[in-house]
Amino acid sequence: MILASSSSRRKFLLDQLGIGPFKVIEPKIIENNSQNILPKKIVLESAYNKAASIKKKIKDEKGYIIAGDTIVCRSKKNYFKALDTETVRKYLSELSGKKHFVYGGICVISPKGVIARKLIITEVYFNRILKNELNDELLLKDGIGKSGGYGIQGLAIKFIKKIKGSYTNVVGLSLPDLYNILKGLGFKKY
């Protein structure tokens, strides 16, 4: 089992699934941050590119390669990873009091080279965020490197009114969907 990711959240999620042991190998790809491409296409392509890049790197090794990607989207605008606190503040301000979607893409390559992909969409509803709350340095730092400028498992949880769909998709990798993909590819833990 190989996780094609640099995300500590995805590693934590895979640990929770209890299907280890697994290796973590960081893929080297250029992520597509275009506003002109549908988020479902971006996450599916990105997940595939991550998995395929690891497959090329470890040609002789056998195992399942797992990759994922997520993007937050609202009103046809993609919210990619926030690179600084100002972007986090801007994203949270725009998402405040509104519904948005978290698009998750999963790609698994089996030891036999069979490729399985899945798109998962989760609706997330934010309560209204007050201006003074957007000055919380811990909150702003917590959102750096995360799509939409927040992590549902972090400090932003206090703004979540409700979600419809997979919670773990919002964290970074939908575990029920991943598990079903693995079973469909013949994975047996025992």
60 catalytic per annotation: no
In a domain, 14, yes or no: yes
Segment 11-54, tens digit of pLDDT:
889 888 888 778 989 998 888 788 889 999 999 999 999 999 99
Q: Which domain covers residue 88, as residue numbers? A: 2-184
Flag whether 35 is in a domain. Answer: yes
- The active-site residue, picked from 69, 84, 136, 177, is 69
Provide DSSP, 38-90.
Answer: -HHHHHHHHHHHHHHHHHHHTTT--S-EEEEEEEEEETTEEE-B--SHHHHHH
- Residue 24 tokens read as 């973590």
Global pTM reads 0.93
DSSP state of 137: H
| Alpha helix stretches (DSSP H) within 109-166 | 137-142
Determine, yes or no, domain membership for 25.
Answer: yes
pLDDT attached to residue 17 = 87
The average pLDDT across 87-91 equals: 97
Number of domains into which the chain is organized:
1
* Confidence at residue 58, expressed as pLDDT on a 0 to 100 scale: 86
Q: Token pair for residue 96?
A: 């405040």
Indicate whether 190 belongs to any domain.
Answer: no
Could you tell me if residue 176 is inside a domain? yes
* pLDDT, tens digit (0-9, with 9 covering 90-100), for 93-136: 999 999 999 999 999 999 999 999 999 999 999 999 999 999 99
Rg, C-alpha atoms of the chain: 17
Q: CATH code at 88?
A: 3.90.950.10
* Domain presence at residue 119: yes
